[in-house]
Amino acid sequence: MQALIQRVAQAAVTVEGRTAGRIGAGLLVLLCAERGDDAATADRLLAKLLKLRIFGDEAGKMNRSVQDVGGDLMIVSQFTLAADTSGGNRPSFTAAAPPDEGRRLYEHFVARARAAHPRVATGEFGADMQVMLVNDGPVTIPLRMVAER
C-alpha cells in the first residue's frame, strides 16, 4: 500500500461540481491499495502517517506530527500511484488492487483514521475528482508499506 502525503494549508475535493470534502491545515493523503495488501498493511501505513513528523516546531524544525498539531486529514483514493511506466508511454496499473479490494482497503483505512483522529475528510472512491490544495512548504512525502508475508 502506498500513499503520497502532502502537508497543506487547505485542500478540497469536488465531484460533479459539489464539494465532497474540505480541510484546513493538515495532510492530504493520496492512497493506493496494491495487489497483496491487507488490513494489517493499511493499519501500519496509517500508524506511520499519524506519527510522521513533518510539521514545524517553535524553531521551524520538522518535529511534529499531524496529531501533535491537531491538523486535519483528507484521504483520497488514487490507484494511479501504482503506475508502471517502464514498458512504454502508456502506464500500466496491474500492480493496483482490483477495484473491489481497493475499495475495501480504502474504506478500512478511512474508518481506522476516523477512529484515531478527530477530523478526517475524504474524496469518493472511484469517482472523477478534482483535488485542489495549497501545499505548505512545499512538503510532499511518499510512504509505502509492503504486506508482511
Residues catalogued as catalytic: 78-80
Q: How many CB atoms lie within 10 A of CB 43?
A: 16
DSSP SS3 for 10: strand
Distance CA(13)–CA(74), nearest Å, equals: 9
Residue with cell 510539521: 55
Residues in contact with 116: Cβ distance below 8 Å, sequence separation at least 6, in sequence order: 46, 50
* Residue 44, all three cell numbers: 501500519
